[in-house]
Amino acid sequence: MRLRFAPSPTGYLHVGGARTALYNWLLARQSGGSFILRIEDTDLSRSTEEAIEAIMTDLRWLGLDWDEGPDAGGEHWPYRQTGRYALYHEAALRLLREGHAYRCFCSPEELKERREAALREGRNPMYDRRCRSIPEGEAQRLEEEGRPYALRFRVPEEGETAVRDLIRGEVVFRNREIEDFVLLRNDGTPTYNLAVVVDDIDMRITHVVRGDDHLSNTPKQLLIYHALGKEPPAFAHLPMIVGTDGKPLSKRHGDVAVGYYREAGFLPEAMINFLALLGWSLDDSTTIMDRETLVANFGLERVSSKPAVWDTDKLYWMNAQYIMAMDEEGLAEAIRPFLVREGLLAEGDEEGMERLRHAVPLIRERIKVLADAVPLLAFLFREVETAEDSREFLEGDENRAVLREAGKRLLELERFDAESIESALRAMVEGMGLKPRKAFQPIRVAVTGSKVSPPLFESMELLGRERCLQRIARALEGSERRGSRVR
């Protein structure tokens, strides 16, 4: 099997595009075939180099590697349509020569006017085929005169074109309802329908798997294949992705850029698992599947033709499952760039990494995305500033007494490990006749800066005695200062 992902580089990689890429990739890897990345950049006004880079970055992050492509090489290099115009012109001229195409001299302004008039009068706005009947000699003469023209496909007036889709079954289009579509614009640039067919033939694509927004293009493409005397590939149109409200997925539903999910700290493996299930299922119950399982079991037979629902809560849940399954080393490595990004950890700080590795088990079950780890762990990597909503726990005589006493007891400890810290502080609380939950709060706030933190005693062990004592002393000092001012 030879499959391709053929993005138009006009912006970031959309999650729908990522799902298309994934399904193609899975089929290629499963069959031992090839996965090709082809950049469809014929829309010069909207295509950018940055978008090409961004799309490749996102695909690499997802682990969807390609065998042929702009940077990977291959016999069809450059795998960018702007580098392949000669092929499109050759095919277009052949279609013209063989009577499957004709020159259309209508100007864009005329076409627009006629279209608008048709819509106003409730008529079909399709091209009225005016130039279709210009005799060849006349058309040649106009061309020689230098009159600009577009090349249109001569769609048969009779009959039907049937798309045999691997997901939807047979979808039949009446030729009468297909417009004489443009192959080459009057500036010589190829249209999508021409370029895609020429490329899919040339690159020997066996299966075209793409979003069902392209289904209406497929009969046009089939007509080109037939006119060129080529066997078309198999087609599979993937169901549209909708939000939980049933409307097509868009920014209203949250973020649709793959890059957003990367930056928020979703794991590529969770993303792959989630995307795979947007339209496909292994059975009625399995949700967590690693890449190997997907490669081994994916198949178009189990892709639904019904819209697939994008459920953000499910994605968070799934990501949390993957986080919980990671080992400490791996999770620490995954969290590292997020701490670096916030300036909490320097690249190459081995001692910091060691602390992070030890901290990971404390937060593993409290985070859904990697970025969640940052506020939870910040206290381990910088001096604390007491959070607004936690300040009250440092005020008042009772809290000050707790801090003072805790400082003393911690100083006396022989070993500064979680267990010893816990028993010392529990004994202290009991001796003072306080409720543990309440009495630990000032210590927690002093040490971590917040009333919500990873487990306290383990956190203190990680932070070390010296830093804990410093923070407790500082909190006490501040509290005393404020206390005396009030009095």
- For ligand GLU, which is the closer residue by CB, 7 or 352? 7
Active-site residue flag, 247: no
Residue 443 binds ligand GLU, judged by CB under 6 A: no
**How is residue 443 written in tokens?**
């210590």
The CA distance from 151 to 182, in Å, is 6
- For ligand GLU, which is the closer residue by CB, 199 or 405? 199
- For ligand GLU, which is the closer residue by CB, 19 or 103? 19
Residue 36 binds ligand GLU, judged by CB under 6 A: no
- For ligand GLU, which is the closer residue by CB, 210 or 355? 210
Residue 82 binds ligand GLU, judged by CB under 6 A: no
Residue 198 binds ligand GLU, judged by CB under 6 A: no
The binder of ligand GLU chosen from 163, 196, 201, 380 (CB under 6 A): 196
Vertex 326, ends 453 and 448: CA angle to 5°? 15
Question: Between 203 and 242, how does the x/- string for binding to ligand GLU read (CB under 6 A)?
Answer: -------x---x----------------------------
Minimum Å gap between C-beta 8 and ligand GLU is 4
Minimum Å gap between C-beta 272 and ligand GLU is 20
- For ligand GLU, which is the closer residue by CB, 20 or 273? 20
The CA distance from 433 to 426, in Å, is 11
Active-site residue identified among 220, 251, 408, 438: 251
The piece of 6-14, 157-165, 270-278, 312-320 that touches ligand GLU (CB under 6 A) is 6-14
- For 112, residues 6+ apart whose C-beta sits below 8 A from its C-beta are none
Binding residues for ligand GLU, rule CB under 6 A, total 7
Residue 8 binds ligand GLU, judged by CB under 6 A: yes
Minimum Å gap between C-beta 236 and ligand GLU is 11
Question: Between 152 and 191, how does the x/- string for binding to ligand GLU read (CB under 6 A)?
Answer: ----------------------------------------
| Cα-Cα-Cα-Cα dihedral sign, residues 392, 393, 394, 397 | positive
The piece of 3-11, 142-150, 283-291, 366-374 that touches ligand GLU (CB under 6 A) is 3-11
Residue 64 binds ligand GLU, judged by CB under 6 A: no
Minimum Å gap between C-beta 280 and ligand GLU is 18
Minimal CA–CA distance to 442: which of 382, 402, 477, 396?
A: 402
Binding site for ligand GLU (CB under 6 A): 6-8, 40, 196, 210, 214
Catalytic residues: 251
